[in-house]
Each structure stands twice: as C-alpha cells, then as structure tokens.
Amino acid sequence: MKPISAALCLVVAGAVAALGGPARAQQTVKIGSVLSVSGPASFLGDPEDKTLRMYVDKINAAGGVAGNKIELVIYDDGGDANKARTFATRLIEDDKVVAMIGGSTTGTTMAMLPVFEGAEVPFISLGGAIEIIDPVSKYVFKTPHTDKMACEKIFEDLKQRALTKIALIAGTDGFGSSMRVQCTLAAPKYGIQIVTEETYGPRDSDMTAQLTKIKNTAGVQAVVNTGFGQGPAIVTRNYAQLGMGAVPLYQSHGVASKSFIELAGPAADGVRLPAAALLVADKLPDNDPQKKIVVDYKATYEATAKQPVSTFGGHAYDGLYILVDAIKRANSTDPKKIRDEIEKTKGFVGTGGIVNMSPTDHLGLDLSAFRMLEIKGGDWILMAPKS
Amino acid sequence: MAWLSDRRAATLLVFAVIIAALPLVFPSGYYYRVAALVFVSGFAAIGLNVLMGQAGQVSLGHAGFFGIGGYAVAIGPAHLGIAPWAATPIGAVLSAALAYVVGRPILRLKGHYLAIATLGFGMLVALVITTESRWTGGPDGMPVAKLVLFGWRATGASTWYWISGAVLLIGAWIALNLAETPTGRAFRALHDSEVAARVAGIDVARVKLQAFVVAAVYASLAGSLLAMMNGFINPDQAGFLHSVELVTMVVLGGLGSVAGAIVGAAVLVTLPQLLTVFQEYENVMLGLIIIVSMIFMRDGVVPTAARLLARRGQP
C-alpha cells in the first residue's frame, strides 16, 4: 500500500472509533433535544437548553417519571438546519430516544420533521410557524403560539377599537414573512382591510422610507409590524420620529421581551402587542389559572439561570411537562403509546396557555393564551380582556 | 498489476475499499448519515479544489451553486412537474450557464478582488432564494420530493450512503483524470504563474472559466444530492457560511489534492459530531483544532502527511 493511503486509512479508522458512543445506562427513559444553543438563534436555544436541564434535574431528584430517571440528550445545531437533521438521525438511530423536545426554529424543525415522522417517535417542536402542525403530522406537536394566533389577537383588539384599515410592515426574515402571510389570510375574517404593505430587511438600520410611504397613504387607521429582533425596535423609533404617534402601532409576540423596550426607548410608549402570560407573571390577577405556574417558573428560572425569564424557555417547560405527563399516563416508554397520550392532553396549564390537544390540533392553544399588552413608561400594562 | 502503481488508481481504490468496508463497522443508521454527508461535502470540495487547488483561483460564493442545485430539485418537482432525477442535470446545466456568464467578467479580477466578486455572487443567490418565497418557501425553506428511479424510491440513510459514495468515486475519478489532461496542466500552469502560462500559449481567460464552470457543476450536483437526501432545503445551503465551510474543507485537506478535499470534508463534517462531548465548548474546540492544524500542517492534512511518510521511508 502506498504511504499516502496508509495515512488515509488511519484517519478514517480513528474517526470511526471515536464516533462509537458510550454504553447505555439501565432504568432510564431517554429524551432527546436538538436546540440552537449557539448561533444566530441562540436567544431561543439558550433559555430552552437551561430550562430543560434545570427541570429534568428537578424531576429526577423527585424520583423521575413512572419509575424511570430521565436521561436528557441535548445537541446544539447552531441554527443550521442540515446539522439539526443529522442530530435528529443521531437521536433516533444512535441514542434511541423515546421522544424529542426541540427544534428551536421553524427551519430546523421542518428539516427534522421527516426523521421523527418516519421513525414514529413523538416530536414536540419549539418552533413558531403554523406549518409545523398544519397539516397535522401524526408524531409532531408544538408548544409556542402560532403567528396566525398573534394576527388574530391583534385583529380582535383592532375590531374592539373599531379600526378596520391597516398598514402592514413586515421583516423579510422567516418569522416576519411567515406572519405577514398569516395576517393577510386572517384579515378578511375580522373585517380588516390591509391598505398598504411594506417590507424591510432583518438587518436594516432605518425604516423611515417605508414608514413615510405608509404615513402618506390615505385612510390608514393602525399599523401592524410583523418581525422580531432589532427591526421592530427601529420601526418603533422611526415611527415616533416621523410623528406618527396618533396612529396606533401594533408589534408581534416576537418582540415580547424587556430588551425591546430598552432598544426602542420612550418611543415604545403606547405600542400594543400580544404576548404570553409569562411576560406579565406578577401583574396577573390572583384568580388567573396560569398565575401559579408562570410565577413559579419565573422564580425558578431566574434563581438558577441568573438571567431574566423569556417566553422561549417557557415553551421548553411546557413541552417537557406535556411529555412527562404523557409518559406518566401511558405508564410506558413505548414511543407510540406516548404519542397517543400527548394527543390526549387536556386542560394542561403551561406558561404558554391552557393546552387542549386533539387529533386535528397538535398545538391545543386558543386565543385566550395571548394577553394584549401595552407599553407605558418602560413597562408592560396588561389590557383588560374582552368581556 | 502495473496500474496499481499509478497514483490515481491507488487513490481511487483506497476510497472504494473504505466506502465498501465502512458499513461493516457501522453500529447504526446514524453513521451512514454522517458518512453520506462526508461524501456529499467531499464531492463539492473536490470541485472547488479544481478551481482553488489546481487553477489557483478563489471562490467565496461557491455555496451559491450548491444552493442552485439544491433548489433545482426542490422547485422542479414542486412547481414545474419535473422529476427529481431530471431536475438534477437541469440544475447542473443552469449552474454551468450561470458560472459561464458570471465568470466571464469576474474572473478577470485577481486575488482579493476576485474573492469579493465571488462573495457578492454567492450572497446574491442566497438573497434571491430568501426573497422569492413564492417559489422557494422563503427563509424557512421548502420540502424536496423523494428521488424515484424506475419505481424505486430512494429513502433511508444506507441507500443514500451508497448513492453518495458512488457519486463521490465518480467525481474523484474525473477530477484525478482532469489533472493529467492538457486542461489540467493548463490549470496548474495558471496556478504557478499567469504570465508564464500566457507566454506558453494558454488562453488564460478561457482556462479560468473552464475551472470555474467545472467547480460550479460539482457544487450544483452536490447540492441536488444533499437536498434529495434530506428531503428538505433552506437558504442556509446557499449562504456565505456554507461557502466558507467549503473553502475550509479544501484548504484544511490540502490544496490541489483530490484525497485532501475528501479528508477535509470528513474532518469538518465529523468533528462537530465528535465534539458534542465538550458541550458548550464545542465551537471553541472546533476552532482550536482548525487553527492548530493550519499552523502545523500548512499545506493541508493530506500533503503534509504524505511528505512525512515519504521522508520516513528514506534512510
């Protein structure tokens, strides 16, 4: 054999040897997770990762689930769908997990979906878009609210204020464009007319041009901005600079975090947005069914992770407990039985809302899961729910 | 057995044996998946190596062609009713045509200017894919139809292992032979000195363009393969980071070496899988390994290893 070939054999043999995993432990139920802990979507993956580790430790300290300790396997896809797909195969083929929580983004979730559907292992996604569960895939569930619900919540509020003519300004990232489509589809149902539409790139630093165009469009009664990240904060600032404050501005649940208020500054005053109860945990009335759970989660997360709570970690919390409850009810670690029980989840109170799943609804949240908030003086004000 | 002493045949034989033997030690389907990823990336890297290693031209936008190939097999069946097997060559022809049109003006540039021009090209492709959501599903990507050949559906990690393995061997065979043709020698002359090449009667512009088109076709085919294997594609495949990853594979493995391109792909695909044991330090370790290997193996893994072994062989 030529020397060069011998070197090659060594390299490959080494790689193969190192790929071999450690021996498996007994009496455990293995739950897998692929999250975007690093990379551009780390603001989603990081709190999800922390939440899962934190609560799995808690559950194990209390004796585990149905007599089994949970073994959590988390892989970081760095936001890369192709990598996520490989890790999904690894969870199924190599780690032999009984269920999976994760997929921080819609992109990674959609890439992994065929793997779990093919292997018939339940998959609770933490991705936002409605495509994940519509059409329903037998083994795929999700916990975060959909963009469609956010649109409907906003339109409900508009209707209450008797505003029917709106302008839509959307980010061209995955979140913004997906929600733009959902809002366009949902508008006629609420008698809302979209008078004009504008878009901006996710990294644009000035949206004055688009907003000026909206300002000069006759008959705009409100502006709805779909997008997340820094874009909406810039829209909000430009909005105030252009003196458009008289026209109500709505943001999406994608910016439901304190950092948005900090970025947008005083310009954020009067902005309304739909958000999960978790964001206003301490402001909820005591008789709110979600009050206890969100206050507990917020306190636990902030004490252990030493950083402010986010709704994204809450989605992981909901996913974990929906799964754990299903394993308990199934009293089995058979993925098919667990799937059947997840689908039967009824009246589960989570951080995202009250979950009632069915064979045609693998999300199980209704509009009451969203609270309408208004920003005032750098803080959230909980709007009274519609009577 | 004189043909065995030929380095080209020996390299091919080694890879064929490795591809055939690896499944004997694979404990699960996951290993097939990782190996198939290595083969697909290796195939793209071989193509890029023709451009970078042989002809000495840089491309920082190569994932653009990868994305075109991938979206060809996604859009063809979904919107135009073209079968996936037919969409693959269509994607390759499209990539070749685009490479030809784009390459003509930008390959006149040298060094950093060429790098920036190709970078811009790659970004443009990614941008178009991201914004034309009616066709491409936008930033969240779109599903890709399964490959069906004569009623036989290509599914499962092991099937794709054999398909991509065979394609890799063919790709390596072509690239190895290309290096020994007049065109391949013209590439190398160009690499060493453009002026000398021109003096020797080589049509520099044409030869550069040839290398660019060859590399584009390789990338496009690899993109098609990956998209069909995953059953899903998103704009990241055409993105800048993927371009950089492909360049890293070529440089790490060894510029100008076909085996190097495959080894570079193997290292970059398997390392993140091996490094998961380091948890949050995964990316730090990955960076560290790449930096250290570039410091100590400046010509890339394969050429350095070959030189070390050759030196030891002498008294």
As a CATH number, domain A147-281+370-382 is 3.40.50.2300
| DSSP string for residues in B5-48 | GSHHHHHHHHHHHHHHHHHHH--SHHHHHHHHHHHHHHHHHHHH
Cβ within 8 Å of residue A251, ≥6 positions away = A225, A232, A236, A260, A271, A272, A273
B35 vs B161: CA distance, rounded Å: 7
Tell me if A363 sits within 8 A of A322, measured CB to CB.
Answer: no
* Mean per-residue pLDDT over chain B, rounded: 89
Cβ atoms B53, B250 nearer than 8 A: yes
pLDDT at residue A24, rounded to an integer: 41
pLDDT tens-digit readout, B140-157 = 888 888 887 776 777 778
Residue A291 CA from chain centroid, whole number:
20
What is the rounded distance in angstroms from the CA atom of residue A62 to the CA atom of residue A69? 10
Residue type, A235: V
Whole-number Å distance between alpha carbons of B53 and A324: 54
Whether residue A23 has pLDDT greater than 60: no
Q: Do A114 and B232 touch (CB under 8 A)?
A: yes
Q: What is the mean pLDDT of chain A?
A: 88
Say whether pLDDT at B2 is over 80.
no
Measured between beta carbons, the chain A residues lying within 8 angstroms of B283 are: 38, 78
Interface contact A94-B34, CB threshold 8 A = no
Whether pLDDT at A1 is above 50: no
**Phi and psi of B230, rounded to 5°?**
-80, -25
Q: Which of B13, B71, B123, B140 to mutate to test the interface with A (most CBs of A within 10 A)?
A: B140
When pLDDT is cut at 50, 70 and 90, the band that residue A20 belongs to is very low
Report how many Cβ contacts below 8 Å link chain A to chain B.
Answer: 128
Per-residue pLDDT, averaged over B267-276, amounts to 88
A202-233 burial: b if 16+ Cβ within 10 Å, else e = bebeebeebbeebbeeeebbbbbbbbbbbbbb
pLDDT score, position A17:
46
* Paired strand residues for A73: A32
Q: Residue A12 and residue A14: Cα distance in Å, rounded? A: 5
Instruction: Enumerate the domain spans of chain B.
Output: 2-243
Ramachandran bin of B180, using left for φ above 0, alpha for ψ from -120 to 50, beta for the remaining angles: alpha
CATH class of A26-145+294-365: alpha beta
Inform me whether the C-beta atom of residue A6 falls under 8 Å from chain B C-beta atoms: yes
- Compare CB distances from A83 to B11, B133, B272 and report the shortest one's residue: B272
pLDDT at A369 over 70: yes
Inspect the interface and report whether the beta carbons of B7 and A82 lie closer than 8 Å: no
Tell me whether A262 touches chain B (CB under 8 Å). Answer: no
Cα distances (angstroms) measured from residue A171 to each of A106, A152, B131: 16, 19, 11
Separation of alpha carbons A123 and A137, rounded Å: 10
Mean pLDDT across B67-84: 92
In angstroms, the CA A33 to CA A109 distance is 11
Given a cut of 80, whether residue A386 has pLDDT beyond it is no
**Structure ipTM over 0.95, yes or no:** no
Q: How many CB atoms lie within 10 A of CB A63?
A: 10
Per-state percent for chain A, helix, strand, coil, to nearest 5: 50, 20, 35
Using CA atoms, how far apart are residues B65 and B72, in angstroms rounded to an integer? 10
Residue with tokens 């030929």: B6
Nearest-angstrom CA–CA distance, B121 and B65: 10
Gyration radius of chain B's alpha carbons: 19
Average pLDDT for B231-239 = 89
Give A173's pLDDT tier (boundaries 50, 70, 90).
confident
- Which stretches within chain A are classed as H helix? 3-19, 42-61, 81-89, 106-119, 147-160, 174-186, 208-215, 231-241, 258-264, 291-305, 311-330, 335-343
Which residue of chain A is at minimal alpha-carbon distance from B139?
A: A174
Amino acid letter for position A171: G
In this prediction, residue A359 carries a pLDDT of 94
Task: Calculate how close chain A gets to B102, using CA atoms only, in Å.
Answer: 26
Question: Are the C-beta atoms of residues B268 and B304 closer than 8 Å to each other?
Answer: no
**Contacts B258 to A, Cβ<8 Å:** none
Q: Which two tokens stand for residue B13?
A: 């034989």
Decide if A7 contacts B306 (C-beta within 8 A).
yes
Per-window interface: A 147-176 vs B, CB < 8 A? 172-174
Give the mean model confidence (pLDDT) for residues B257-275: 91
Beta-carbon-side half-sphere exposure of residue B211 (alpha carbons within 13 Å): 32
| % chain B with pLDDT above 90 | 56
Chain B nearest CA to A226, separation (Å): 15
Task: Tell me the β-bridge partners of B168.
Answer: none
Domain range list for chain A: 26-145+294-365, 147-281+370-382
Q: What digits encode the pLDDT tens for the residues A187-196?
A: 999 999 999 9
Q: Identify the residue with better confidence: B57 or B281.
A: B57
Residue A4 has pLDDT above 60, yes or no: no
Chain B hits for A140, Cβ within 8 Å:
none
A370 membership: H or E segment, kind and range: strand A370-376
The helix (run of H) or strand (run of E) holding residue B222 is helix B204-230
**Closest CA–CA distance from residue A82 to any residue of chain B (Å):** 8
Quick one: pLDDT band at residue A21, thresholds 50, 70, 90? very low
Cβ neighbours, 10 Å, residue A287: 6
Chain B: residue whose CA lies nearest to A96: B28
Reported as a single tens digit per residue, the pLDDT across B162-203 is: 999 999 999 999 999 998 899 999 999 999 888 999 998 899
DSSP string, B88-102: HHHHHHHHHHHHHHH
Test the B interface: residue of A1, A4, A226 with most B CBs within 10 Å = A4
Q: Tell me the residue ranges of DSSP E strands in chain B.
A: 142-143, 147-149, 152-154, 232-233
